[in-house]
Amino acid sequence: MELGRRLIASIGLYSKTFREKVGMARNGKPQSLQQIASTLVLISLVTGAEVAWGMPAIAAAAPALSDSALPVLPQSTHQRWIASSVKVPPAVVNTLRQDLSKRTGIPTNQLRYIEGTPQTWTNGCLGLARPDEMCTQMMVNGWRIVFANGSNRWVYRTDATGQTYRLEPSANRAEGGLTAPKPVGKILRSQIPISELPPKVQKDVVFRAIASGGFAGQTYQTTLYQDGKIVREQLYPNGTSGSSQVRQVSQQQVRQFTAMLRQNKLYQLHRADYPATPGSADFFTVTLSCQSCIIRYADSIRAELPANLQAVIQAWDELTQMV
C-alpha cells in the first residue's frame, strides 16, 4: 500500500512539474534552457526512484536457476571432437583409398571403407614415429580409418584434414579381431654389400639409426650414447651434417635398452638387408647399428620383419619418443 501511494504522488508531481517548467509561460514565452534542464534532472530523479521502488517486485517475480537447470557445456576440445555426429570427410577417405591401392596393388573399387572414428593422437607422428623421428609433443585431432578387402583389414591414422596419415604396422597382423592382410609379394632378405656398409659405431655409442628416403629424399641420423644422450641430426650428401637436436634419457633407460639388444641377439642378423617390396613408394630405408650388428630394412615392410628385430625397433621408437 505504501509503495502505491508513493507512486501516485510521484506521478502527480511529474505532471505538475512538466506543465509548469516545460510548458509555455502565461506571457506566451518559453522557459529558459536552464529551467528546462533542471526540469529534466528532476524528472530523471523521480522516474529513477520509481524504478528503484519497482525493483523488488521484479526481482521477486524472477525464479532463481538451480544448478540442475543450467546448461551443461563441453569441458574440452577433445570431448567436442569425439562427438558421435562427426563424420570422416569423403576427401580423406578417397585419399587413403588411393594410397592403399598403390601399396597393395588392389584396385580402389575393391577396397571397402569400413569405419572412421575420431581420435586424438598423442604426438605429431600420430603415435607411429619412424626410427629417425623425434615427434612434436602435442595432441593431434584426427581419424582412425579402417579399409577391407575380403577378410583383410588395413588401419590408417590421420590428422583432422587427412593431409598427414600413416598406416598402422599392427594392421599386418591379427589384432582386435581383425584378420591380417596377406602379404603382397614376398619379403626378401639379402646381404648388405660391403661398399654400402656405414661406418662402425664408436665405442661410446649404444645404438644408431640412419634413415633416408621418403618423397623429400632426406637423411637423418639418431644416435644413443652410453651417457644417455640422444643426438638427432640431418646428414647431407657431401658428408656434412646440419644442426643437431640433443635430448637426454636416464641411465636406467639406457641399461634397459642395452638389455633388450642382448636379449634379441641382433648379431645373428648382422648385415641382413630387407628391401621394400616392388612398387612401394614413400618409404624410408633404415640402417641400424650397434656394437655387434648392422641391419638395413625398409620401414614399409616393418611388420613383416623377424620378431626379434621388430621388438628392438619398437623399443627404440619408445625410447626416442619419450624424450
Q: How much is the pLDDT for 181?
A: 41
Collect the ranges in the chain with pLDDT lower than 50. 3-4, 7-8, 10-11, 13-15, 17-19, 21-29, 33, 41, 43-85, 171-185, 323
Phi (first) and psi of residue 159, to 5 degrees: -85, -175
| pTM given for the model | 0.46
DSSP state of 322: -
Domain end position, chosen among 126, 144, 172: 172
Q: How much is the pLDDT for 58?
A: 34
Alpha-carbon gap, residue 91 to 160, rounded angstroms: 12
Q: How much is the pLDDT for 322?
A: 53
Alpha-carbon gap, residue 261 to 267, rounded angstroms: 9
Q: How much is the pLDDT for 131?
A: 64
Q: How much is the pLDDT for 168?
A: 85
The CATH number given to whatever domain includes residue 212 is 3.30.1560
Do 278 and 305 share a domain, yes or no?
yes
Can you give the residue range of the structural domain that contains 205? Answer: 190-321
Residue 261: how many CA atoms within 13 Å on its side-chain side? 21
Per the CB < 8 A criterion, the answer to whether 288 and 294 are in contact is yes
Do 196 and 275 share a domain, yes or no?
yes
Do 199 and 311 share a domain, yes or no?
yes
Please give the distance of CA 34 from its chain centroid, rounded to a whole number. 69
Q: How much is the pLDDT for 6?
A: 52
User: Per the domain annotation, does 73 fall within a domain?
Assistant: no
Per the CB < 8 A criterion, the answer to whether 179 and 191 are in contact is no
Q: How much is the pLDDT for 86?
A: 66
